[in-house]
């Protein structure tokens, strides 16, 4: 079906808006330093753009946010409330919140708290979360506490989880004409703290179960949502959880394992219950009993963390891509849960069970819940979501569809990995507002730019998800612009060198097709940088 010209123009317009409206951090936090007025204005606008039903606060209308925050900063909250009232909007409760937040942002006790902590004195506790989602994290410089794992998923998280899981399945169905039989999900500890378990809720919804609370209001059990109510098959879910999640959310690990085992035992048609279908198929293997066939929660061996896929990529210590997926499984094939006799399984190596579970996966997914850290900001997204996707590719003999959700925008949005990489690249790596913000931090800022390029490369290595134009534009922006290259060399020649080397590696490994003349120029610049670095070393 070809789209009309108007439809194409409208789609382009929507994409431009999406990039323009994307929230991005425009610099690094400096320990002990309160935020500047401009930084405060940006944060206040973000905070004011979300409804907060729990405290009766409504988001400010988008068209007035900029002016209302300016009036607030220049003349105080009464003036801002009056400004909005003239435009027919009651904003008393929003500005009460913004006033508190603004005051807390103007002070900074981090250094004092650090000194007191070093003296072994008491540090006041405070919640750890994303500032936009929970402004109560202020003031900073407190002893961050997490969450009661028995409260996870919260009622709000479960309600949101349903919307995300439904959008995710809709998107897959749109592209493939049917529901996926099995998905692999990445669950992180900090994310589930920040959202009170949105990732956990999504896993439960895909399986088609809801949490049940005991007499002490602890989420310790699950019940099946009837198929008629669910209106779709139950999806098999392979959960790869971080070491942090395993440590912080032990009761939740057991809840997830219990959910899989409950669903596996429901007397339902196999085409409506893919967990049961796969468990039955798996038990046909002589070496596999029912307990073994229903293992779906995997993490590191006890006491271990991470996949090491990021280190392998960063150090260029690999030849074949499948090694990256194999390393992921080697690190993550430890089972957690409880068997049918009620005995706990605490990190038993279960490589065959994981290989088999992954061999049925058709889509992989991770939730992104903060504007502060995205796909290319850290190497952890590609080590986890990229790692599991590469492991699936070999075991299922097909590349899975890879998705991310965006629960940081007002409405939930599911994007493919490729779409998310493009959006992050345009909103951050190639956005002058972002990189100039980074460059104000000098040496560290250049390192951040180089990290973004390397993390982008990580998505080529694990998922072949990076378009050629991305590498070309990185080269044009940071290497072939002479004055930019001079700035990078001056501030941090090591990172400038790594950036150029990474671009050459992208071409060498077949992820970036470009002209020979471009490569020759890059090689020449790399030699210059090497000479400069040798000069420094002597
Ligand atoms: C976690 O919160 O579980 C996590 C954080 C950083 C990297 C990997 C996992
Ligand atoms: Mg390509």
Distance 244 CA to ligand 1 centre (A): 6
| Mean pLDDT of the chain, nearest integer | 93
Contacts of residue 463, defined as CB under 8 A and 6 or more positions apart, other chains included, come to 382, 385, 386, 389, 390, 399, 402, 417
* Closest ligand to residue 370's CA: 1
* Closest ligand to residue 470's CA: 2
The reported pLDDT for the residue numbered 100 is 94
Distance 388 CA to ligand 2 centre (A): 20
Distance 286 CA to ligand 1 centre (A): 37
Segment 147-159, tens digit of pLDDT: 788 989 988 889 8
Query: What is the Cα–Cα distance from 229 to 75, expressed in whole angstroms?
Result: 53
Ligand 1 atom with minimal separation from the 242 CA: 3
The reported pLDDT for the residue numbered 408 is 62
The reported pLDDT for the residue numbered 505 is 98
* Closest ligand to residue 514's CA: 2
Question: Which range among 289-293, 448-452, 533-537 has the greatest average pLDDT?
Answer: 448-452
Residue nearest to atom 6 of ligand 1 (CA): 380
> With contact defined as beta carbons under 8 Å apart, do 475 and 515 qualify?
no
Distance 435 CA to ligand 1 centre (A): 25
Token pair 């500005």 is found at: 95
Distance 192 CA to ligand 1 centre (A): 10
The reported pLDDT for the residue numbered 538 is 65
* Closest ligand to residue 128's CA: 1
Helix, strand, or coil (residue 239)? strand
Name the residue of 146, 149, 189, 194 whose CB sits within 8 Å of the most ligand 1 atoms, as the mutation to test its pocket: 189
| Residue range 286-299: mean pLDDT, rounded | 92
Query: What is the Cα–Cα distance from 532 to 523, expressed in whole angstroms?
Result: 14
Distance 357 CA to ligand 2 centre (A): 29
Residue 344 — pLDDT band, cuts 50, 70, 90?
Answer: very high
Tokens (6 digits) for 467: 């378009």
| Residue range 523-529: mean pLDDT, rounded | 97
| Residue range 376-388: mean pLDDT, rounded | 97
- Of 49-53, 97-101, 148-152, 463-467, the one with minimum mean pLDDT is 49-53
* Closest ligand to residue 466's CA: 2
Distance 438 CA to ligand 1 centre (A): 23
Strand 334-338 relative to strand 297-299, pairing: antiparallel
Ligand 1 atom with minimal separation from the 384 CA: 8
Q: Is the dihedral angle over the CA atoms 515, 517, 521, 524 positive or is it negative?
A: positive
Name the residue of 188, 243, 252, 367 whose CB sits within 8 Å of the most ligand 1 atoms, as the mutation to test its pocket: 188
Instruction: Please tell me the pTM assigned to this model.
Output: 0.87
Query: What is the Cα–Cα distance from 292 to 357, expressed in whole angstroms?
Result: 11
Q: What percentage of the chain has pLDDT greater than the value 90?
A: 80
Residue 373 — pLDDT band, cuts 50, 70, 90?
Answer: confident
Segment 247-285, tens digit of pLDDT: 999 999 999 999 999 999 999 999 999 999 999 999 988
Query: What is the Cα–Cα distance from 251 to 95, expressed in whole angstroms?
Result: 39
Segment 94-118, tens digit of pLDDT: 999 999 999 999 989 999 999 999 9
Residue 347, φ and ψ in degrees, nearest 5: 80, 45
> With contact defined as beta carbons under 8 Å apart, do 353 and 7 qualify?
no
187 forms beta bridges with: 241
Distance 189 CA to ligand 1 centre (A): 6
Buried b (16+ CB within 10 A) or exposed e, 195-205: bbbbbbbbbbb
Distance 487 CA to ligand 1 centre (A): 33
Ligand 1 atom with minimal separation from the 248 CA: 3
Tokens (6 digits) for 137: 């994290």
Residue 309 — pLDDT band, cuts 50, 70, 90?
Answer: very high
The reported pLDDT for the residue numbered 195 is 85
The reported pLDDT for the residue numbered 83 is 95
Ligand 1 atom with minimal separation from the 190 CA: 2
The reported pLDDT for the residue numbered 24 is 78
Ligand 1 atom with minimal separation from the 243 CA: 3
Residue 487 — pLDDT band, cuts 50, 70, 90?
Answer: very high
The reported pLDDT for the residue numbered 288 is 85
The reported pLDDT for the residue numbered 148 is 83
Ligand 1 atom with minimal separation from the 306 CA: 8
| Residue range 449-461: mean pLDDT, rounded | 98
Residue nearest to atom 7 of ligand 1 (CA): 380
* Closest ligand to residue 194's CA: 1
* Closest ligand to residue 191's CA: 1
Distance 472 CA to ligand 2 centre (A): 12
Name the residue of 367, 377, 380, 382 whose CB sits within 8 Å of the most ligand 1 atoms, as the mutation to test its pocket: 380
Query: What is the Cα–Cα distance from 299 to 333, expressed in whole angstroms?
Result: 6
Distance 450 CA to ligand 2 centre (A): 20
Tokens (6 digits) for 535: 């000069």
The reported pLDDT for the residue numbered 494 is 97
Distance 242 CA to ligand 1 centre (A): 6
Ligand 1 atom with minimal separation from the 241 CA: 3
pLDDT tops 90 at residue 417: yes
| Residue range 167-174: mean pLDDT, rounded | 97
Name the residue of 244, 247, 384 whose CB sits within 8 Å of the most ligand 1 atoms, as the mutation to test its pocket: 244
Distance 349 CA to ligand 2 centre (A): 36
End-to-end C-alpha distance for the chain, whole angstroms: 64
- Of 192-206, 350-364, 509-523, the one with minimum mean pLDDT is 192-206
Query: Residues lining ligand 1, judged by CB closer than 6 Å?
Result: 188-190, 242, 244-245, 380
50 forms beta bridges with: none
More confident residue, 430 or 39: 430
| Residue range 203-222: mean pLDDT, rounded | 95
pLDDT tops 90 at residue 54: no
pLDDT tops 90 at residue 216: no
pLDDT tops 90 at residue 370: no
pLDDT tops 70 at residue 409: no
Residue nearest to atom 4 of ligand 1 (CA): 188
Tokens (6 digits) for 267: 């007397």
| Residue range 357-369: mean pLDDT, rounded | 96
Peptide bond into 376 cis (omega under 30): no
Q: What percentage of the chain has pLDDT greater than the value 70?
A: 98
Segment 332-341, tens digit of pLDDT: 999 999 999 9
Distance 370 CA to ligand 1 centre (A): 13
> With contact defined as beta carbons under 8 Å apart, do 346 and 301 qualify?
no
Give the burial class of 455: count Cβ atoms within 10 A of its Cβ; 0-12 exposed, 13-18 middle, 19 or more buried.
Answer: buried
Q: Is the dihedral angle over the CA atoms 532, 533, 536, 537 positive or is it negative?
A: negative
* Closest ligand to residue 246's CA: 1
Contacts of residue 390, defined as CB under 8 A and 6 or more positions apart, other chains included, come to 321, 322, 324, 325, 328, 462, 463
pLDDT tops 90 at residue 76: yes
127 forms beta bridges with: 145
């Amino acid at each position: 079906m070809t789209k009309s010209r108007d439809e194409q123009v409208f789609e382009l317009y929507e994409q431009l808006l999406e990039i323009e409206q994307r929230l991005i951090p425009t610099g690094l936090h400096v320990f002990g330093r309160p935020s500047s007025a401009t930084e405060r204005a940006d944060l206040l606008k973000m905070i004011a753009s979300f409804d907060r039903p729990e405290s009766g606060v409504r988001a400010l209308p988008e068209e007035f946010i900029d002016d209302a925050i300016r009036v607030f900063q220049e003349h105080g909250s009464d003036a801002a409330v009056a400004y909005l009232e003239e435009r027919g909007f009651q904003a008393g409760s929003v500005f009460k919140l913004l006033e508190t937040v603004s005051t807390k942002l103007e002070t900074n006790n981090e250094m004092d708290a650090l000194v007191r902590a070093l003296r072994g004195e008491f540090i006041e506790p405070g919640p750890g979360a994303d500032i936009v989602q929970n402004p109560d994290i202020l003031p900073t410089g407190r002893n961050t506490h997490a969450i009661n794992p028995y409260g996870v998923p919260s009622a709000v998280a479960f309600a949101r989880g349903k919307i995300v899981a439904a959008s995710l399945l809709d998107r897959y169905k749109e592209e493939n004409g049917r529901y996926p039989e099995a998905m692999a999900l990445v669950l992180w500890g900090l994310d589930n703290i920040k959202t009170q378990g949105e990732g956990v809720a999504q896993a439960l919804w895909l399986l088609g179960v809801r949490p049940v609370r005991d007499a002490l209001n602890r989420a310790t059990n699950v019940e099946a949502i009837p198929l008629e109510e669910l209106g779709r098959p139950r999806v098999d879910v392979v959960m790869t959880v971080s070491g942090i999640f395993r440590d912080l959310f032990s009761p939740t690990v057991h809840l997830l394992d219990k959910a899989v085992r409950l669903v596996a035992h429901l007397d339902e048609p196999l085409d409506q219950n893919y967990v049961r279908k796969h468990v039955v198929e798996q038990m046909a293997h002589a070496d596999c009993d029912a307990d073994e066939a229903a293992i779906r929660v995997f993490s590191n061996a006890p006491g271990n963390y991470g996949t090491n896929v990021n280190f392998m990529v960063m150090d260029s210590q690999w030849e074949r891509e499948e090694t990256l997926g194999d390393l992921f499984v080697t690190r993550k094939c430890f089972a957690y849960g409880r068997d049918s006799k009620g005995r706990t399984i605490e990190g038993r190596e279960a490589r065959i069970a994981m290989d088999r579970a992954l061999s049925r996966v058709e889509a992989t997914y991770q939730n992104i819940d903060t504007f502060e850290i995205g796909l290319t900001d850290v190497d952890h997204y590609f080590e986890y979501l990229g790692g599991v996707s590469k492991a699936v590719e070999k075991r299922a003999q097909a590349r899975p569809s890879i998705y991310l959700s965006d629960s940081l925008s007002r409405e939930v949005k599911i994007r493919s990995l490729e779409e998310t990489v493009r959006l992050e690249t345009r909103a951050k790596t190639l956005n002058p507002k972002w990189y100039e913000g980074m460059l104000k931090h000098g040496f560290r800022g250049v390192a951040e730019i180089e990290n973004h390029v390397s993390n982008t490369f990580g998505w080529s290595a694990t998922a072949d998800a990076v378009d050629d134009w991305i590498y070309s534009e990185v080269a044009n922006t940071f290497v072939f612009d002479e004055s930019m290259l001079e700035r990078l060399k001056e501030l941090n020649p090591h990172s400038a060198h790594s950036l150029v080397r990474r671009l050459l590696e992208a071409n060498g490994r077949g992820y970036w097709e470009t002209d020979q003349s471009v490569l020759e120029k890059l090689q020449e610049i790399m030699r210059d940088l090497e000479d400069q670095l040798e000069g420094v070393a002597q």
